[in-house]
Each structure stands twice: as structure tokens, then as C-alpha cells.
Amino acid sequence: MKKLAVIAFGGNALLRGGQRGTYREQMQNVTETCKSLLPFLKNDYNLVIGHGNGPQVGNVMLQNEAGNQVFNVPDMPIDFCVAETQGLIGFMIEMGLDKVFAAEGMRRNVVTLVTQVIVDKDDPMFQNPTKPVGPYYTKEQAEQYAAETGAVYKEDPKGRGWRKVVASPKPIGIQNIDIVKRLANEGNIVVTVGGGGIPVIEKKGCLCGVEAVIDKDLASAMTAIQIQADEFYILTDVPKVYINFRKENEQALNTITVAEAKKHLADGQFTEGSMAPKIRAAILFVEATGHQAIITEATSLTDPTCGTRIVP
């Protein structure tokens, strides 16, 4: 049996610090990230790819706002915007992999699934939305929009203005996960749960979109568990996980147990919105499967001992 790996692309796979986010920039970045998958491709792994969409969905929301203000084009909800970015990012990953295949004389099918991820309508996060999305506003604008739409706005901690905040509920189900598993085990590379998936809830026997953002690492971990992946990789912008990050006693972690990872989490070693969600996703996968999870940067994947490994 071929090994099956799930690889979660971080935001820097498409857009890096200091870049404007042009199509050319993003295509170059994603092609470089796809090149980092060569060790898996040459060893004939079956692959499933998840990815973030933070910068892209933010830009779509800015475009929505501009279109609404200038041309009276209706705004679209977050679930719609996530679906849109799943398609465009999946297209770029497919193109990036195609360039790698052409350079290496390989041939693999790549398929992108626009994926709905089910969340619980009673998830407590809906009562305490904390995930900032979209553009910054003045306090007066935020108060006006809140009164008009019922959305929640909070002040940015860095003083850049006010932003809409939405819930970040836990994923509880992935639509078409059996198809993802089948396609991957047949040798197709599958791009799925982009941006954490399109958030949907069950209502009156069917699914409907909801204003929320799902953590992409958590959704990727759930995917890896449900398709019985052998390996789970989370790609980020550092080669290893650190404790005492950017302090004089900074220490890179090579291999840690789930118990050690939980202790570091409890000690506040990992920042929310950055490394903490990745650690939680890795723990989820390891506890459910007994396999290791690896957190590293894409360029390190050629090293078989790369990254920080979380083990049972």
C-alpha cells in the first residue's frame, strides 16, 4: 500500500510578507511550494492538500465592499467568499503542480474539491465571535454597519481601526470525505478543505452557509483522521516549533510527545492565531491515529528529519 499524507499549506505558500498579492506573485510562491512536495511525489505518496485563504478572502471582501460602494453590487456572505477562494487557490495549486510535473517528467491528476465543512449551530463560539475578517473601519462606520446588519465589530489591538469579527467554530463533519479518500487512494492529488472549508450548519434537514471561519489546520487534521492518513504535515514560515520564541533562551523543538505539547500550550508558549492552532491540530491527529504529525516550512521537506515532530 502506498503511504497517504495530508499536507496543510500555510498562508505563506501563496502570499509572503511585503508582497501586494498579484497573480504573478502568488503563482510564483505556490509553484515554489509545490516543488517542495517532490520528495513525496518521487516516493509515490498519495497526497491530499489543505490550504489557508486568509489574505485572499480578505481581498475578496475588500473587492465586495468597493463594488458595493461604487457600483451598488451586493455584498456576498463569508461562506460565498470562502467558496470563491477555494476555487481560485485550488486552480493555482493545480497550475503549480503541473509546472513541477512538466519539469520532472511526471504525470499525476490533480483535482480540487470545493468543500463544505459542517459546524455545530450551537457551538459556543457563535456567542463569542473573535475572528477578525475583512477591511478596517472607523468606530463610527463600524457602529453604523453593526446597526444595519447585526454583525459584531471589535477594535483592532494594534489600533488600526475596527473590524468585523465572526465565530471560529470547531469542524464536526466534512462533506464528501469518502470521495476525497477514494480519489486519493486511486493516486489523484486532492485539494480540499481550503481555508478550513465552507462553513455550513444543518438546518431543517439540509445544509446552509453560516458567517464563520474554520481553522484550516484543524479541518486538515480532521481530514487526515477520516481518510486514515499515515502522515500529517503542517507547513508554516519557520523550520521548527520553538519555545521561548524570539527570546534569549529560544529553543527549537525536534521531537515532542503529545503530553509535552499540551504542557507547552498550557504554559502559554504558543501564540493564539499563530502556532497554538497548529499544535492543537497536530495533537488531534496524533491522539486519533497514533501516527506522528510534523510542523515545518516547505523548503525543509527535502530533509527526512525536518521540522518538529509530535508523537504519541
Q: Same domain, yes or no, for 158 and 247? A: no
Could you list the residue range(s) of the whole structural domain that residue 73 is in? Answer: 4-120+171-311
The three cell numbers of residue 131 are: 475572528
Q: Same domain, yes or no, for 71 and 211?
A: yes
- In terms of domains, do 211 and 97 share one? yes
54 and 139 fall within a common domain = no
Phi (first) and psi of residue 131, to 5 degrees:
-85, 110
Is 30 within 8 Å of 16 (Cβ atoms)? no
**Contact indicator for 281, 221 with CB cutoff of 8 Å:** yes
**All three cell numbers of 37:** 512536495
- Shared domain check, 157 and 20: no
Residues 19 and 116 in one domain: yes
- For residue 68, the surrounding DSSP H or E stretch is helix 54-71
Asked if 142 and 215 sit in the same domain, the reply is no
Same domain, 190 and 234: yes
CA 138 centroid distance within chain: 29
The distance in angstroms from the start CA to the end CA of the chain is: 23
Which residue, chain included where needed, has cell 478550513? 196
For strand 4-9 and strand 46-51, is the pairing parallel, antiparallel, or unpaired? parallel
How do the pLDDT tens digits run along the chain, 312 residues long? 799 999 999 877 888 888 999 999 999 999 999 999 999 999 999 999 999 998 899 899 989 989 998 999 998 999 999 999 999 999 999 999 999 999 999 999 999 999 999 999 999 999 999 888 888 899 999 999 899 888 999 998 889 899 999 999 999 999 999 999 999 999 999 999 999 999 999 999 999 999 999 999 999 999 999 999 999 999 999 999 999 999 999 999 999 999 999 999 999 999 988 899 999 999 999 999 999 999 999 999 999 899 999 999
Spatial neighbors of 121 by CB under 8 A, at least 6 apart, are: 201, 202, 203, 210
On whether both 104 and 148 belong to a single domain, the answer is no
- CATH number of domain containing 260: 3.40.1160.10
Residues facing residue 166 across a β-bridge = 131
Residues 258 and 307 in one domain: yes
Say yes or no: 135 and 114 in one domain. Answer: no
Contact (CB, 8 A) for 37 and 46: no
Which residues are part of the catalytic machinery?
11-12, 131, 216, 278
Same domain, 190 and 276: yes
Q: Distance from CA of residue 157 to its chain's centroid?
A: 23
Q: Which cell numbers hold the place of 174? A: 466534512
pLDDT at residue 149 in the model: 86
> How many structural domains are present in the chain?
2
The type of residue at 290 is G
